[in-house]
């Protein structure tokens, strides 16, 4: 039996507040945003605080489609007619990098390596994470509490090769909320990363040149998304 305004046979989902949604209008997808972490940094950096074509939070390079898929700042909320039922968050170390010669900040094409276990350990033990929607805190923890749920998996016999990921690359092993966070248009959302002590990066580079003093960290929020379809 369909609900009022919903065709018979349509699959629906009832939310905790009693609202019913037609799943035909939604897709199972994700939003993501990236931040840049800097060696010895102590100030917080906020994921989703800048949109695509604006500077990456924590750095100066301009964000592209590999950095974020949200067209505007999380401070402005989701675009008109968008909604999301957030079922989990994931944090993924994208790269360790250094600035190009003569430049103070890295670019997208700067020399980069995978994040090492030592760098992961140094950052995970000092960074507190908090997710806020509409100025209300919905989740707090550390990086390991939010496994990335996907990514590269390396098998090698080279003892000098090292790669670390935040959890195994399996979508079944990412964080999953029992009750989703229902986000609506024009209401703020942000992922706050607050160092409780100076961050130590300074990762030796695989090319034997200068150390890598910057890390890119990507925040995913998975769930059901309703968006305008033209």
18 belongs to a structural domain: no
For 138, half-sphere exposure in the C-beta direction (CA atoms, 13 angstrom radius) is 21
Is residue 4 included in any domain, yes or no?
no
Question: Which candidate, 147, 224, 221, places its Cα nearest to that of 191?
Answer: 221
**Strand runs labelled E in the chain:** 12-14, 20-22, 27-38, 45-47, 83-97, 112-113, 127-133, 136-141, 181-184, 189-195, 214-226
CA 170, CA 153: separation in Å to the nearest integer? 10
Per-residue pLDDT of the chain (230 residues; tens, 9 = 90+): 334 455 555 566 676 666 766 666 788 899 999 999 999 999 999 999 999 999 999 999 999 999 999 989 999 999 998 999 999 999 999 999 999 999 999 999 999 999 988 999 999 999 999 999 999 999 999 999 998 776 555 555 566 656 666 666 565 566 666 788 999 999 999 999 999 999 999 999 999 998 999 999 999 999 999 976 65
Structural domain boundaries, residue 100: 33-150+184-226
The Cα 228–Cα 208 span in angstroms is 49
Count how many residues are written for the chain. Answer: 230
Whole-prediction pTM: 0.84
**Looking at the domain assignment, is residue 1 inside a domain?**
no
Residue 76 lies in a domain: yes
Query: Is 96 inside a domain boundary?
Result: yes
Domain annotation covers residue 167: no
Q: Report the C-alpha gap between 79 and 159 in whole angstroms.
A: 48
Which 8-state DSSP code applies to residue 153? Answer: -
CA distance 59 to 106: 8
Domain count of the chain? 1
């Amino acid at each position: 039996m369909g609900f009022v305004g919903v065709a018979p046979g349509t699959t629906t989902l009832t939310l905790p507040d009693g609202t019913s949604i037609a799943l035909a209008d939604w897709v199972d997808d994700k939003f993501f945003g990236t931040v840049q972490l800097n060696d010895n940094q102590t100030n917080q950096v906020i994921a989703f605080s800048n949109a695509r074509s604006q500077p990456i939070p924590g750095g100066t390079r301009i964000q592209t489609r590999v950095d974020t898929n949200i067209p505007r700042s999380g401070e402005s909320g989701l675009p008109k007619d968008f909604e999301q039922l957030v079922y989990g968050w994931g944090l993924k170390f994208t790269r360790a990098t250094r600035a190009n010669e003569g430049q103070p900040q890295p670019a997208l094409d700067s020399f980069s390596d995978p994040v090492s276990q030592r760098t992961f350990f140094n950052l995970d033990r000092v960074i507190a994470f908090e997710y806020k929607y509409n100025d209300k805190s919905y989740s707090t923890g550390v990086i390991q509490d939010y496994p990335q749920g996907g990514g590269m998996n390396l098998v090698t016999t080279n003892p000098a090769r090292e790669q670390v990921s935040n959890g195994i690359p399996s979508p079944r092993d990412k964080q999953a909320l029992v009750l989703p966070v229902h986000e609506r248009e024009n209401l703020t959302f942000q992922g706050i990363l607050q160092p409780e002590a100076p961050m130590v990066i300074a990762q030796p580079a695989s090319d034997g040149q200068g150390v890598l003093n910057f890390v890119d960290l990507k925040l995913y929020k998975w769930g059901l998304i309703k968006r305008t379809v033209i």
